[in-house]
Homo-oligomer: A and B are copies of this chain.
C-alpha cells in the first residue's frame, strides 16, 4: 500500500516527537514492504511567524491531497497571555479540523500494566480500565459565533448543535460499542442546556437501531467524578466538543502519563492523528519529551488504513521500551534516555 502522509510538526516539542513517529513509519516501510510518501508543512505559531497565518493555504492544500495527516502539537505561551492577540496558533488546528471535516475525535483510555505506579490514582481503581472517548470535534461552542462588544466589556460564544452533527458521530460511537463491551454512555448537561437535550433525544433515537448496545446518560459534572472513581464502568463515552476536551484530558491521567496517549480525528474523507499532549514549550529542544504518544498516533494511522499487523508491531515495540525502562524522564526519574534514543529503540524493534 502507498500512503501519502502530510507531516505537520507544529510548535514546541511537536517537531521532536513527530520525527520519532516518522522513524517508526520508515521502519514499517522496510519491514512490511509498504510505501509512505511524507510531505511536511508548517502550522500553528511557527506558521504565524513564517507566513502570518496559523494555517497557510499550502498547508491546507497538502492535507487535503494526502491520505492522512500526522500532527505534532500546537500552541505558544506568548499568545496565551495576550487576550488581545488577533491570530492564535490554535486557530490553525481548529480550522484544519473544520476544513477537513474531522468530526470525530477518538481517544482510547487504557491503564498500562507497567505504568500503574505512575498514575496518581490507586492501582485497584484503574487496573483493567479500557474505554474510548468519542468527542465531537467540529461543532459546539468551539465554532459558534463569537462576539465582543465595541467597549470590550461583554463577550459571548454560541454553543450550537444540529441533529445531523450529533447523528453522524453517534452512529460511529454505537458501531464502536457494538464491537467492544456493548455499552455507550452519553455525557451531557441535559438538566441545563438545550443543546444537551437535543443530544439526548437524537442519541436515544439512534440507540434504537443498536439494540445490542446498552445506552446510559451521565451529567458532565458527575462524569468528571465517575471517570476517576470507577473508570472500569465505561466502554464507549460519547460527548460534545468542549466536554470531550475536558474529560478526555482528565481521563489521560489514568494511563500514568499524558505522554502515552494518541488520538485519531476522523472525517468522511480525511483523518488526522496526533498525541493528546500539547506543545509543552518548556521542554522544547531539550530532547526530553516523550515520543510515545506521537508514535502511537502513527500506529492509529496504520490501523485506520487496515494495516493491523503493522500497527501491532509498533505497539509491541512500545511495550518493549516500557518494560525495559527505555523511556524518557517523565516515566522514570533520572532516566538517561532522551526523545531520540527512545524513538530509535522503538523503531529498531519494529
Contacts and interface: CB of A to CB of B under 8 A. Distances in A.
Contacts of A191: 75, 79-80, 88, 90
Nearest to A126: B120
A74 B76 CA distance: 43
Contacts of A154: 160-163, 198
A308 interface: no
A80 B190 contact: yes
B253 A225 contact: yes
A222 interface: yes
Most buried by B among A90, A152, A246, A250: A246
Nearest to A74: B191
Interface string A119-148: 011100100000000000000011010111
A159 interface: yes
A179 interface: no
A224 interface: yes
B148 A155 contact: no
B228 A246 contact: no
A312 interface: no
A229 B120 contact: yes
Contact of A224 (B90, B147, B249): B249
Question: How many copies of this kind of chain does the complex include?
Answer: 2
A65 B284 CA distance: 59
A170 to B, nearest CB: 14
A348 interface: no
A247 interface: yes
Contacts of A230: 120
A217 B81 contact: yes
A141 B220 CA distance: 14
A153 B159 contact: no
A329 to B, nearest CB: 16
B157 A193 contact: yes
A242 B189 contact: yes
A48 interface: no
A211 to B, nearest CB: 18
Most buried by B among A88, A190, A217: A190
A315 interface: no
Given A121-B120, A155-B160, A146 B194 contact: yes
Contacts of A224: 224, 246-247, 249-250
B194 A221 contact: no
A156 B158 contact: yes
Interface in A61-102: 75, 79-81, 83-84, 88, 90, 94
A194 B147 contact: yes
A313 interface: no
10 contacts: A75-B191, A88-B191, A121-B228, A153-B198, A156-B194, A159-B159, A224-B224, A224-B249, A225-B249, A225-B253
Given A88-B191, A152-B163, 11 more contacts: A79-B191, A80-B191, A80-B217, A81-B217, A90-B191, A90-B192, A141-B159, A155-B194, A157-B193, A222-B249, A225-B250
User: Closest 5 A-B residue pairs measured CB to CB?
Assistant: A155-B198, A156-B160, A146-B194, A221-B249, A224-B250
